[in-house]
Structure formats: C-alpha cells, structure tokens
Structure 1
Amino acid sequence: MNDWSSCPAVERDPEKVSGAWVFRGTRVPVSALFENLEDGAQLSDFVNWFPGVTLQQARAVLEHAAHTLEAA
C-alpha cells in the first residue's frame, strides 16, 4: 500500500474532496493524475487541464509511486 503521507506534493483533509489525497493547495485528487495518464494524456496536458497543479507536484507524485513499487 502506498503511504501518501510521506509525499510532500499531496495532502488529505476530511473537509476536502471527502478526505481523498489531493495535490497540495488544490482540490485535484491524486487519482486524477493516474486516470488521465492511463487514458493517454501527457504530463504537460494534465498540468494544463488542472490549474494549480504544478509539473513538479505531478512528477513528485509519480516518483513517490515508483519508489513505493520498488520497495514492495
């Protein structure tokens, strides 16, 4: 299981988006990144479609997920 609490690019607040992990400072769920990439979007498309999410945040989330998979 991925422990998102150690990823500085995301946050979770029970009052925000039903407590889902979101990109810090936004209401954009982390899951939206993976769904869009799965559907063929480029990382640059994603950050253009979701104002407030930076390229650095998106990369940090992907790196965090990759490191989690490596550790498993």
Structure 2
Amino acid sequence: MKSSIIVSDPEILGGTPVFRGTRVPIRALFDYLQFSTIDEFLVGYPHISREMVNEVLAVIAKRVSAVPHRKRRETTA
C-alpha cells in the first residue's frame, strides 16, 4: 500500500518515515499521542496540518486492519 503522505527516503533522516514535504518523523506524532493530544502535536509542529495528521492515521489504520495474505500450500502430486 503506497501512501502519498508518508515518505521514506534515504536522503531524509536516513530513511525514517516522515510527513511528505517535511523532516518531521511520523513517529513524532505517535510519541505525542502517547502522552498528549493531536492539538498539542499541531502546536509543536505548526507546519503540519490536521488534514495531514488525519491522513497518516487513516493510512496506519488501513495497514493494521488489512487481512494478511496467506501463502498457498503447494500440493505434491
């Protein structure tokens, strides 16, 4: 699943996933959410919009709720 909001580029923070167009790691959002709120994250990172946060959360939600693909068992005849 490709995301338009989450970017991982070896030239940006060594490939750490960041918000597109920034050097703000996605991990920073989840660090804030552990002890704080989205509003406080937005105050700390004013160049990140609420829409960007919502898009990241939607992408992550899709990834964690996706049904894993099962490998087919090969049968020998």
TM-score by length of 1: 0.81
Partner SS, residue 60 of structure 2:
helix
Q: Deviations over 1:2-57 (max 9, x none)?
A: x5xx1211212211111101001111000111111012x11121112113211111
- Code of the aligned partner of 1:24: R
Could you list the runs of 5+ residues in structure 1 that have no partner in the other structure? none
Could you list the runs of 5+ residues in structure 2 that have no partner in the other structure? 68-77
CA RMSD of superposed structures (Å)? 1.3
Which one has more relative contact order, counting CA pairs under 8 Å at least 6 apart?
Answer: 1
**4+ runs deviating over 6 angstroms:** none
TM-score by length of 2: 0.76
Q: Report how many residues are paired.
A: 67
Percent of residue pairs bearing the same amino acid type: 33
Who wins on radius of gyration, i.e. which is larger?
A: 2
